[in-house]
């Protein structure tokens, strides 16, 4: 990993009434410091200007009048940039403000200049802090709280990873009683249906625009992480795949290549030991994991959690996303496909881990030799 774009939403940075969460920004900058010590360039995309301006101007809800919105952005932008400059200087980093509009991406000559400027800043150890130029442009005020901007920027700067930090844990299967989706190999209609808009009085977008942003970024070959930023000091853990959230694999790749991201990013919540026949089917035939091949499981994991797949000797051979929680799995270990579906009527498929969400960690040759 050489370059990441980190996007922070209004809800993370605004404390209401025109105040900013100084401590949270300080924690984020500590995380940036750790990333830069690993040789990783960081580009910040920071929302919050409109929300800060609203507080300073005494507005309780987001105004519909675009001229008032532009005024809020103008007032809030200076407050926001001052906070970033102060926090980054504590780590001996210079901050550079960059304000962009859609036209900067639509026109090739302008987009080249944007990339050249950012590249030059990063070469000199400066941290670019990017925001929409929404003090002069009406269209950009409807841009989705910088989500799409961050994706376009990740594509333009050829970042390997876009980190979108928000107040949500990540993509959930449903709003009320859903579970976290830890890994998405492809953004399809089912994934899109899980996204919901925001109800925040100061922000725009919500999960729906974050999924749209993930579409843009992944199509350019950039992986995406969406997760909670309320503990922002964990940025290095995000890079290492040791934190909760949703990872989106880059698109434009064969499924086998996309699944490689599953093997390295999400942290396993448990393990499933399988027999030799199931090992052979997974590693040599690209098969799904069925209950009939399972010997036992360890750990407590839920539906959609990542699990390690072990051979009979305890060696990890793959990772995958479980379709059944650990307590549900105990009732169907060794069972036939028909029994699995009969036991859990909600499941119309028998796979415990579907092959599309199962990433082998060893090669066919290694499997044969063992």
pLDDT tens-digit series, residues 5-36: 999 988 888 887 778 888 999 999 999 999 99
- The second-level CATH assignment, the architecture, of 268-369 is Roll (2.30)
CA angle in degrees (0–180, nearest 5) for 144-231-37: 95
What distance lies between CA 358 and its chain's CA centroid? 19
pLDDT score, position 143 = 56
Q: Where in the chain are the domains?
A: 3-263, 268-369
CB 213 within 8 A of CB 248: no
**pLDDT digit string (tens) for 202-259?**
445 578 889 999 999 998 889 999 998 887 667 888 887 778 889 998 886 666 667 7
How confident is the prediction along the chain (370 residues), in pLDDT tens digits per residue?
A: 899 999 998 888 888 777 888 899 999 999 999 999 999 999 999 988 888 888 888 888 888 888 888 888 888 898 899 999 999 999 999 999 999 988 888 788 899 999 999 999 999 999 999 998 877 766 544 555 689 999 999 999 999 999 999 888 899 887 665 678 888 888 888 888 887 654 454 445 578 889 999 999 998 889 999 998 887 667 888 887 778 889 998 886 666 667 767 766 667 889 999 999 999 999 999 899 999 999 999 999 988 888 999 999 999 999 998 999 999 999 999 999 999 999 998 878 899 999 888 888 875 544 544 4
Q: Any idea what DSSP says for residue 227? A: E
Q: How far apart are CA 69 and CA 74, in angstroms?
A: 9
Helical residues (DSSP H) of 90-146, grouped into ranges: 103-106, 108-123
CATH number attached to the domain at 3-263: 3.40.1160.10
């Amino acid at each position: 990993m050489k370059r990441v774009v980190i996007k922070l939403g209004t809800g993370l940075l605004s404390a209401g009434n025109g105040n900013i969460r100084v401590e949270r920004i300080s924690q984020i900058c500590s995380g940036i410091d750790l990333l830069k010590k690993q040789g990783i360039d960081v580009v910040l995309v920071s929302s919050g200007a409109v929300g800060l301006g609203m507080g300073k101007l005494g507005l309780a809800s987001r105004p519909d009048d675009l001229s008032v919105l532009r005024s809020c952005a103008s007032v809030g932008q200076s407050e926001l940039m001052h906070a970033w400059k102060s926090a980054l200087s504590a780590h001996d980093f210079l901050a550079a403000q960059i304000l962009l509009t859609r036209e900067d991406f639509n026109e090739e000559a302008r987009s080249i200049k944007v990339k050249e400027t950012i590249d030059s800043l990063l070469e000199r150890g400066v941290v670019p802090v990017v925001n929409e130029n929404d003090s002069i442009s009406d269209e950009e005020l409807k841009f989705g709280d910088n989500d799409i901007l961050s994706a376009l920027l990740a594509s333009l700067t050829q970042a390997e990873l876009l980190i979108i930090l928000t107040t949500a844990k990540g993509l959930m299967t449903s709003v009320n009683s859903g579970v976290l989706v830890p890994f998405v190999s492809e953004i399809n209609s089912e994934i899109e249906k899980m996204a919901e808009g925001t109800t925040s009085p100061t922000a725009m977008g919500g999960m729906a625009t974050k999924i749209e942003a993930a579409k843009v970024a992944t199509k350019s070959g950039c992986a995406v992480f969406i997760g909670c930023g309320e503990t922002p000091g964990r940025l290095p853990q995000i890079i290492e795949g040791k934190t909760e959230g949703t990872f989106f694999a880059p698109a434009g790749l064969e499924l086998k290549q996309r699944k490689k991201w599953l093997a390295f990013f999400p942290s396993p919540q448990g393990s499933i030991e399988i027999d030799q026949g199931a090992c052979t089917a997974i590693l040599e035939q690209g098969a799904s994991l069925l209950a009939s091949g399972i010997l036992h499981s360890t750990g407590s994991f839920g539906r959609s959690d990542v699990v390690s797949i072990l051979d009979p000797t305890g060696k990890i051979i793959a990772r995958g996303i479980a379709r059944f929680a650990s307590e549900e799995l105990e009732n169907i270990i060794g069972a036939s496909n028909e029994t699995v579906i009969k036991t859990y009527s909600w499941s119309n498929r028998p796979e415990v881990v579907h092959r599309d969400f199962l990433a082998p960690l060893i090669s066919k040759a290694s499997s044969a030799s063992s």
